[in-house]
């Protein structure tokens, strides 16, 4: 496998005032007013960056985020200004509200693991008795987590958010309303593409006047869980069928857990073979095309992506 990937970046852009290397994105602050967000091909699970990058993953995340930000801007303004490169977004620098607004439409993944342990309360929300895995909640639930600068995010209740001054009651009510409206839009768009959006997360920030904006990516395979609607409906109608076919990063987590890795100390990530890496890449591209209805265009592999990104960003910064 000789595909070029974006594993790390180390740019020095004009008027650069800060750089942050996250699990997946490298974010460069320009003049303390703008942010250049580069979606790398790194992949993380259980808050751990895995040892191999996934070809085209960053482009999938970046272009899907652009697609959904543009299609939800009537609900809430967002940070995005331009997308000068397949793997880069430029937007306004905002003061982040350090909460991830996780919204769950049904009982899968983490919520199911909590539920089958016998617990019924998650982030201060009581889940109904008598549910089975993959059942939809009567209405979507919001299960926030703290947005850790480093290390693991932590579940938190609405009361805990207020007590720790992570948000005012008024701000939390506003972003909760936005969260449910965005999720309803996402579910509607997914349904039109033959998919079920089961859960996702949103992040918000404020400008100097306190106005709230949507930031970061939305409705991507890194932040969302999708099922094929036909497969999901068939499973719910007859639970003897195979579990619903999903399009999300959950299959990577499942692969890791099957290999004995859940992010705990002393555990080792299983070997990521070429075949596995390409299967992950193919799954990301499949989700992009299924969710958006667009054709994924792979970049020219003969062009160094770092050189390409630098050229495109420098050109875009001149227009700000």
Question: Which tens digits make up the pLDDT trace of 4-46?
Answer: 999 999 999 999 999 999 999 999 999 999 999 999 999 999 8
Is residue 36 within 8 A of residue 26, CB to CB? The reply is no
pLDDT higher than 60, residue 273:
yes
User: How would residue 148 be classed by pLDDT, with cut points 50, 70 and 90?
Assistant: low
- Alpha carbons 192 and 184: distance in angstroms, whole number: 12
- Alpha carbons 160 and 168: distance in angstroms, whole number: 11
Question: What Cα–Cα distance (Å) separates residue 100 from each residue in 71, 93, 95, 171, 219?
Answer: 21, 18, 14, 13, 14
pLDDT of residue 247: 80
Domain extent for 148: 96-246
User: Does residue 120 lie in a domain region?
Assistant: yes
User: Does residue 177 lie in a domain region?
Assistant: yes
- Specify the DSSP class assigned to residue 276: H
CB atoms within 10 A of CB 48: 17
User: How would residue 2 be classed by pLDDT, with cut points 50, 70 and 90?
Assistant: confident
Mean of pLDDT over the chain:
94
Question: Which tens digits make up the pLDDT trace of 90-122?
Answer: 999 999 999 999 999 999 999 999 999 999 999
User: Judging by beta carbons within 10 Å of its beta carbon (0-12, 13-18, 19+), is residue 49 exposed, middle or buried?
Assistant: middle
User: How would residue 250 be classed by pLDDT, with cut points 50, 70 and 90?
Assistant: confident
pLDDT higher than 90, residue 150:
no
pLDDT higher than 60, residue 149:
no
For residues 234-248, one letter each, b for 16 or more C-beta atoms within 10 angstroms of the residue's C-beta and e for the rest, the string is ebbeeeeeeebebbb
142-156, 205-219, 248-262: least confidently modelled range: 142-156
Question: Which tens digits make up the pLDDT trace of 213-230?
Answer: 999 999 988 889 999 999
Question: What angle do the packed helices 274-292 and 57-70 form, to 10 degrees?
Answer: 20
User: How would residue 123 be classed by pLDDT, with cut points 50, 70 and 90?
Assistant: very high
Question: Which tens digits make up the pLDDT trace of 228-244?
Answer: 999 999 999 998 878 89
Domains: count for the chain: 1
Widest pairwise Cα distance in the chain: 60
Which CATH number goes with the domain that contains 136?
Answer: 3.30.470.20
High-pLDDT (> 90) share of the chain, %: 88
pLDDT higher than 70, residue 1:
no
Question: Which tens digits make up the pLDDT trace of 39-68?
Answer: 999 999 988 999 999 999 999 999 999 999
DSSP annotation string for 220-249:
-TTT-EEEEHHHHHHHHH-TTSPPPPEEET
User: Does residue 291 lie in a domain region?
Assistant: no
User: Does residue 85 lie in a domain region?
Assistant: no
User: Does residue 89 lie in a domain region?
Assistant: no
pLDDT of residue 176: 98
pLDDT higher than 80, residue 248:
no
Mean pLDDT (whole number) for 116-136: 97
pLDDT higher than 80, residue 152:
no
User: Does residue 164 lie in a domain region?
Assistant: yes
pLDDT higher than 60, residue 284:
yes
User: Does residue 260 lie in a domain region?
Assistant: no
- Alpha carbons 83 and 63: distance in angstroms, whole number: 8
User: Does residue 30 lie in a domain region?
Assistant: no
DSSP annotation string for 180-219:
HHHHHHHHHHHHHTTEEEEEEEEEEEE-TT--EEEES--S
């Amino acid at each position: 496998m000789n595909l070029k990937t974006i594993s790390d970046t180390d740019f020095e852009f004009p008027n650069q005032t800060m750089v942050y290397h996250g699990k997946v994105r490298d974010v460069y602050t320009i003049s303390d007013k703008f942010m250049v967000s580069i979606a790398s091909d790194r992949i993380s699970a259980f808050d751990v960056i895995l040892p191999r990058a996934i070809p085209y993953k960053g482009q999938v995340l970046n272009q899907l985020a652009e697609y959904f930000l543009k299609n939800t801007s009537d609900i809430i303004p967002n940070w995005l200004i331009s997308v000068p490169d397949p793997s880069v977004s430029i937007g306004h620098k905002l003061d982040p509200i350090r909460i991830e607004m996780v919204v769950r439409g049904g009982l899968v993944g983490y919520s199911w693991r909590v539920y089958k342990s016998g617990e019924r309360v998650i982030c201060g929300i009581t889940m109904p008795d008598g549910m089975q895995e993959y059942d939809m909640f009567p209405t979507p639930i919001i299960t926030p987590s703290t947005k850790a600068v480093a290390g693991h995010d932590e579940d938190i209740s609405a009361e805990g958010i207020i007590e720790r001054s992570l948000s005012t009651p008024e701000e939390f009510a506003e972003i909760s309303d936005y969260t449910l409206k965005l999720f309803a839009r996402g579910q509607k768009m997914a349904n039109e593409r033959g998919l079920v959006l089961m859960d996702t997360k949103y992040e918000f920030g404020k400008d100097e006047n306190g106005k709230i904006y949507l930031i970061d990516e939305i409705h991507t395979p890194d932040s969302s869980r999708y099922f094929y609607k036909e497969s999901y409906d068939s499973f719910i109608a007859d639970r003897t069928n195979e579990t619903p076919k999903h399009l999300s990063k959950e299959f990577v987590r499942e692969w890791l857990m099957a290999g004995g890795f859940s992010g705990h100390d002393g555990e080792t990530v299983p070997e990521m073979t070429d075949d596995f890496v390409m299967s992950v890449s193919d799954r990301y591209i499949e989700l992009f095309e299924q969710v958006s209805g667009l054709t994924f265009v792979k970049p020219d592999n003969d062009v160094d992506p770092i050189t390409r990104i630098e050229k495109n960003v420098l050109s875009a910064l001149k227009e700000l």
